[in-house]
Amino acid sequence: MNFSTRGQGVVKWILYGIIILAAIMVAISVTSGFIMDYYWFKSVGYLQVFMTNIKCRLVLLFIGWAVTTSCLLLSWRTIRKSLGGELPDIGSTFFKVFSVFMGLGVGWWFKDGYLTFLKFLNRTSWGVTDPLALPFFHNDISFYVFTLPMLRTVLTFVAAVSGIVLVLSLFVYGLGRAAIGPRPEGEITPSPSPETPGWRFARFLRSWPVLGSIVALTAVGAILTWLGRFSYLWEFHPGASVPTGASYMAVHYLIPYTWVKAFGVILFGYLIFRIFSSAGELREKVEFGGLRELKTEALILAAVILIFLIIPGAVFGAINRLNVEPNEPGIQKNYVNRCIEATNRAYGLENVPSVTYSSTGGELSAEKALKSPTVKNARVIDYRPVKQTYRQKQRLRTYYEFPEIDVGRYRIEGEKKLAVISGREMSKKAGGWQNEHLYFTHGFGAVASPASRAAPDGSPILKIRNIPPTSWGNLSVDPRPRIYYGEKTNSYAIVRANGLDEFDYPKGENNASYRYEYDSGIPIGNPWKKLISWFYTGDFKILVSNYVGENSRLLLHRNVHERVKKIAPFLRYDPDAHLFAGNNGGLIYQLNGITRAERYPYSYTGSGAPGYLSDSVKAFVKANTGEAAFYITQDGDPVAKTFSKIYPSLFKKGEEMPQYYRKHLIYPESLFQVQMKIYRRYHMRGFRAFYQKEDLWTPAGEKYHGRGTRVEPYNILLNVENKPGFENRKKEFTLIKPFTPKGKKNMRALVLVGQDPGNYGQITVIKFPKGELFRGPRQVEAIISQNTHISRRVSLWEGAGSNVLRGNLLVLPVENSLIYIEPLYLSGAGVPYPQLKRVIAVRKDRAAMENSLRRAVSKVLKGRVGRARPPENIAPGENLAPAKLVQAVRKYLDLRENYIRLHRQGDYVSAAKIKERMAQVVENMKDLSRGG
């Protein structure tokens, strides 16, 4: 008996131990994300960012929990008292526990607004006010961007707590009433008194949980409705006849009417308050006198309907149709002008200089064109085909990958040149836990090519290639350019493993090995950090593997996009991470951080355009260590200043940016696209031209790889001497986008943005007169297609079984004139990647197709092609088409014309016979093209 008792005690303590251990494990599992984030932010040097966010979140969580829980517990006292204290203790305990968890839920939601409060507490004045001369307006922009969101968040929190208290109080009272049940049968029910359920219910409806919540909801609703007057400043309706913020109707009718709407909310709240506070009275009136006795309530309801439905719909609608629309656009002039001014200011388009090109500016000589840095560096190497080439020629092993191709400028052999570059990242996806996370941990090196010329076979010239990487003049990559952090590096890695070196790179029949030499990463040598790492990653092997030793480090968030977003999630990042080689050959990623703000008065809002955008922050991530640095490059941006106050240790001043970082800055293409989407209309500063869309632009279109598409922004080296807004420089790295008039195909404008130090971010427009013809990309495509020499050559290639791919059409401004360049690629069954075979140059209505950029430009400008340099991408004998092959092509073209004619006439039998002959000719052309 004693043994049995002792055994039961042991079992009981074992069960207690299991329960306690399970509770500890659950707690660690829930908090592992928080704990690991602490270690990670500490390891990257931005612990202050993490602690600032956590402190603010915890304060808001506590406030949300304390206020909600307190209100619910106080309401419970009233509920229980109203039920006469007849509820069991278990009900009281359950409600108290539920109140605590409900408070945690509200606090958890409330804490997510931490950034709103941090921005408010550290707000920076804009120095610009809204232009409305109305009471409570003419505020600094910071009021709308920082203060108003905070007020709305607080009011929403009060409304949420009040709504929860009201709903739960009524619900719990109903449950309690049902649980107590009716009085026993035969028991005499006395008339209402302080002891009867009827009296208790009436008293409960007049208690503070009910009436107090109604009053709070009414007050919040009225204040929010009144604050809604400010939203007219940035409300934008794209389909409206006049795109503007606070228009004539808003200023003269809708904004003043918010006082009436707020009064309407108070009336409606009073109606609800009256119903709940006088429920017994109202019931008696209805029972004895019918609905006619509810005159006061009916009048209040009618007033609410009048305020919210009839006046806005009927009265304001009539005013708009009878007074405003017939007098547009004149009646909206001041408001449209405000919209144009505010939109251009908010998106950095306020002072955009322009220069006009004229077709009478003189002829462009071949000599001048060939000396131009714009033509010499024209990017005929298309980034999409070159990606396939790199994969085929430089992947070296199946576990490597080239995620993106970046276009940059480098000083090579004493001259600034355009180049394309891509990092060789590790893409090992399978092969076991050790291989994926401990052995194949990093990529190696990069590949770079000139952007303006190709190898003899039409593939990119691999100037930087292989492992270890070669150098290209004074452009070199570190002999040990390991890529632990990249654009497609998404898994974690454990370095300095016990008894296991990492794979470094393939070296002949063997593999070179490596042991991580840097201090980045989280030390996970002790059991506690192993335990946290297991819960955080979900990999139990971290906890039990002998490879994870006391010197091991955990590398997390290795995708550079994810890494910068983890540190500074409040920025909007351009989707392209630009890879470049620094002065010492190290590989570095640049990411553009764009600050944004909503509620900018009179500014355009739409898809991707929140109201305010600024290219203010540059983030740099080193590929080997993951070290991230953030620089503020726009000192006048109030949003960036506010964030620098919140996180003083995060941002560095732009002046502290290393010079070799500055030389590789890239303007964010996504921001440029948004700006151009806006500028295509908002470049019209005149009110009437803007209203009538007299000079509306549209992005130029082109035929790319056989499909119609819009021309993407592209980079060129441009001589910006005497270009307004630019510092004089002969080789400015410039992002460019062409525009045509709406509904037409001729060129209307080229928009340029500088990217080199001194001119970075400067936007300038090259305009083309409306009365003169400058051909747009679509018209140039037509000229190319109609050129007999080019079309016959293309037909020859297609007849021989090749796919002809027309690359990006480049519009190049040279000497107040335009030259158009289009690369021509061939691909086929025997070619694993597209090869650049020809370059087409177009000037006015003349097109030329040659083996190189230089020859094509010289020919189209009627210059002589020098013989000193051999053709760059032509194989011996390639230009000499055999006579038999020419005859076969001509025969094929004649047969194709007959086939089309017969098919249109409906003579399908004869057409089928012609098609068989065409197939025979195609086979003959293939044999001839192989030299058979």
Listed in sequence order, the residues at least 6 apart from 337 whose beta carbon sits closer than 8 Å to its beta carbon are 687
pLDDT of residue 197: 52
Q: pLDDT tens across 385-395, in order?
A: 888 889 888 98
Residue 867's pLDDT band, with cuts at 50, 70 and 90, is: very low
Domain ranges in the chain? Answer: 1-34, 62-179+198-324, 490-557, 567-666, 774-861, 884-931
CA distances from 666 to 229, 576, 618, 761 (A): 40, 10, 9, 9
What are the φ and ψ backbone dihedral angles of 449, each rounded to 5 degrees? -145, 150
Q: pLDDT tens across 177-212, in order?
A: 776 665 555 454 444 444 455 546 767 788 888 899
Q: pLDDT tens across 694-732, in order?
A: 999 999 998 877 778 899 999 999 998 888 888 877 889
pLDDT of residue 922: 74
Residue 3's pLDDT band, with cuts at 50, 70 and 90, is: low
CB 594 within 8 Å of CB 573: yes
Q: Which of 693, 663, 674, 525 is nearest to 581 (CA)?
A: 663
User: Does the bond joining 353 to the residue before it have cis omega, within 30 degrees of 0?
Assistant: no
pLDDT of residue 881: 47
In this model, does residue 440 exceed pLDDT 90? yes
Measured CA angle at 336 (ends 334, 340), to 5 deg: 115
Q: How would you classify residue 224: left for phi > 0, otherwise alpha for psi between -120 and 50, otherwise beta?
A: alpha
Output 72 or 876, whichever has higher pLDDT.
72
pLDDT of residue 23: 84
Residue 548's pLDDT band, with cuts at 50, 70 and 90, is: very high
pLDDT of residue 379: 93
In this model, does residue 871 exceed pLDDT 60? no
Q: pLDDT tens across 162-175, in order?
A: 999 999 988 888 88
Cα separation of 426 and 649, whole Å? 32
Strand 354-356 with 763-767, pairing: parallel
CB 699 within 8 Å of CB 710: yes
Q: Which of 838, 782, 815, 799 is nearest to 919 (CA)?
A: 799
pLDDT of residue 83: 75
Cα separation of 662 and 756, whole Å? 7
H helical segments located in 700-807: 777-786, 788-799
> 3-class DSSP state for residue 787?
coil
What are the φ and ψ backbone dihedral angles of 872, each rounded to 5 degrees? -85, -25
Cα separation of 470 and 447, whole Å? 9
Among 104-118, 236-250, 716-730, 865-879, the range scoring the smallest mean pLDDT is 865-879
Structure tokens at 485: 């952090």
Task: Give 442: exposed, middle or buried? Use CB within 10 Å, 0-12, 13-18, 19+.
Answer: buried
Amino acid at position 212, single letter: G
Q: How would you classify residue 494: left for phi > 0, otherwise alpha for psi between -120 and 50, otherwise beta?
A: beta
461 DSSP 8-state letter = P
pLDDT of residue 292: 63
Cα separation of 586 and 630, whole Å? 18
Q: Which residues pair with 652 in a beta bridge?
A: 631
In this model, does residue 801 exceed pLDDT 80? no
Average pLDDT value for residue range 824-829: 81
Q: Which of 269, 280, 273, 300 is nearest to 210 (CA)?
A: 273
Q: Determine the straight-line distance between the first and last CA of the chain, rounded to whole angstroms.
A: 104
Cα separation of 370 and 619, whole Å? 37
| Cβ contacts of 505-514, under 8 Å, gap ≥ 24 | 505/444, 505/445, 505/467, 505/468, 506/396, 506/397, 506/467, 514/482
pLDDT of residue 396: 86
Q: Which residue is listed with tokens 């190319």?
A: 784
Listed in sequence order, the residues at least 6 apart from 1 whose beta carbon sits closer than 8 Å to its beta carbon are none
Cα separation of 369 and 738, whole Å? 20
Q: Which of 565, 556, 579, 555 is nearest to 630 (CA)?
A: 565
Strand 697-699 with 701-704, pairing: unpaired
Structure tokens at 299: 């009048």
Interhelix angle 197-205/47-82, nearest 10 degrees: 150
Listed in sequence order, the residues at least 6 apart from 521 whose beta carbon sits closer than 8 Å to its beta carbon are 43, 495, 553, 554, 555, 556
For 653, other C-beta atoms within 10 Å of its C-beta total 11
pLDDT of residue 239: 54
In this model, does residue 869 exceed pLDDT 50? no
For 285, other C-beta atoms within 10 Å of its C-beta total 17
Listed in sequence order, the residues at least 6 apart from 812 whose beta carbon sits closer than 8 Å to its beta carbon are 374, 375, 378, 716, 818, 819, 820, 821
Q: Which residue is listed with tokens 């609905």?
A: 291
In this model, does residue 893 exceed pLDDT 60? yes
Listing DSSP states for 154-206 in one string gives HHHHHHHHHHHHHHHHHHHHHHHHHHH-SPPTT---PSS-TTSHHHHHHHHHT
Q: pLDDT tens across 659-704, in order?
A: 999 999 999 999 999 999 999 999 999 888 898 889 999 999 988 7
pLDDT of residue 868: 34
In this model, does residue 873 exceed pLDDT 70? no
Q: What percent of the chain has pLDDT over 90?
A: 56
In this model, does residue 404 exceed pLDDT 60? yes
Report which secondary-structure segment, H or E, holds 732. Answer: strand 732-741
CB 159 within 8 Å of CB 216: yes
What integer best gives the mean pLDDT of the chain? 87
Strands annotated E in 465-577:
482-483, 493-495, 502-507, 510-514, 522-523, 553-555, 572-573
Q: Which residue is listed with tokens 């021509």?
A: 824
Cα separation of 507 and 479, whole Å? 14
For 181, other C-beta atoms within 10 Å of its C-beta total 8
For 510, other C-beta atoms within 10 Å of its C-beta total 7
CA distances from 196 to 184, 191, 202, 254, 706 (A): 14, 8, 10, 51, 85
Average pLDDT value for residue range 515-532: 94
Structure tokens at 345: 């200011």
In this model, does residue 37 exceed pLDDT 80? yes
Report which secondary-structure segment, H or E, holds 67. Answer: helix 47-82
Q: Which of 741, 747, 754, 764 is nearest to 842 (CA)?
A: 747
Among 528-537, 634-643, 750-759, 865-874, the range scoring the smallest mean pLDDT is 865-874
Structure tokens at 655: 């002046």
pLDDT of residue 26: 84
Amino acid at position 230, single letter: F
Count of residues for the chain? 932
In this model, does residue 923 exceed pLDDT 80? no
pLDDT of residue 416: 92
In this model, does residue 735 exceed pLDDT 80? yes
Cα separation of 407 and 839, whole Å? 19
pLDDT of residue 492: 95
Q: Which of 841, 861, 864, 843 is nearest to 851 (CA)?
A: 841
Average pLDDT value for residue range 303-318: 92
pLDDT of residue 684: 93
Q: pLDDT tens across 561-585, in order?
A: 999 999 999 999 999 999 999 878 8
Residue 476's pLDDT band, with cuts at 50, 70 and 90, is: confident
pLDDT of residue 167: 93
Q: pLDDT tens across 802-824, in order?
A: 788 888 899 999 988 899 999 99
Cα separation of 371 and 376, whole Å? 7
Q: pLDDT tens across 89-106, in order?
A: 777 888 889 999 999 999
Average pLDDT value for residue range 40-50: 96
Listed in sequence order, the residues at least 6 apart from 689 whose beta carbon sits closer than 8 Å to its beta carbon are 695
CB 158 within 8 Å of CB 220: yes
